[in-house]
Amino acid sequence: MKKLGLYIHIPFCDKICNYCDFTAFQGANSKIKEYVEALKKEIELKGNKDFLIDSIFIGGGTPSFIDGKYIFDILEKLRENFTVLDNIEITIETNSKTFDEKKLEYYKRAKINRLSIGVQSFNDKILKELGRNHNSKEALESIELVKKFGFDINLDLIFGYQSQTIEDILYDLEIVKK
């Protein structure tokens, strides 16, 4: 059997940030259902029980922007069509304003065990310059919510954007440590 790590791309966002180079679309909500259907069809077409999936990363875009049920269905489809090992790392990328308890419950049911939260900075001035859809308080609140659910957590921070200084990144790292 061949081992395989899978990356699933969800190219939708609440708001496109000023610095982003990823394939992501804002205001394309009417395409989400169609995209998920196409993804599930592709999983069926490429599916092979001889492949042993040992990690899954659902990235974007912002996967947490779409309905939690869609994420659940995509993972079900993977389990039907590949051999997905138990207790593997399954990660989903999120940003603060796009998930709530209901979505986190869907992720738990889908056996997602790691959330990557796009924070970028805890400095509101920088967040504004980056064109983010949340402030630092909202980022901290969302981290608390994720902690309550017991997921492993990754935080994305950005360094090097125009006005950012060494002091700014040290401040961000202090907050992470706390």
Ligand X SMILES: C[S@@+](CC[C@H](N)C(=O)[O-])C[C@H]1O[C@@H](n2cnc3c(N)ncnc32)[C@H](O)[C@@H]1O
Instruction: Report the interface residues with ligand SF4, using CB under 6 A.
Output: 13, 16-17, 20, 22, 24, 60-62, 95, 118
User: 43: burial class by Cβ within 10 Å (0-12, 13-18, 19+)?
Assistant: buried
Give yes or no for residue 85 binding ligand X (CB under 6 A): no
Candidate segments 17-25, 101-109, 121-129, 142-150, binder of ligand X by CB under 6 A: 17-25
Which residue's CB is nearer to ligand X, number 44 or number 100?
100
CB burial readout 102-126, b (16+ within 10 A) else e: ebbebbeebebbbbbbbbbbbbeeb
- Options 7, 20, 102, 152; binder of ligand X; rule CB under 6 A: 20
Give yes or no for residue 121 binding ligand X (CB under 6 A): no
Candidate segments 55-63, 71-79, 82-90, 164-172, binder of ligand X by CB under 6 A: 55-63
Question: How wide is the angle at C-alpha 89 spanned by C-alphas 143 and 173, nearest 5°?
Answer: 35
Which residue's CB is nearer to ligand X, number 81 or number 116?
116
What is the 8-class DSSP label of residue 30? G
Give yes or no for residue 118 binding ligand X (CB under 6 A): yes
Tally of residues, the chain: 178
d(CA 9, CA 25) in angstroms, rounded, equals 12
Provide the binding-site residues for ligand X, judged by CB under 6 A. 19-22, 59-60, 62, 93, 95, 118, 120, 156, 158
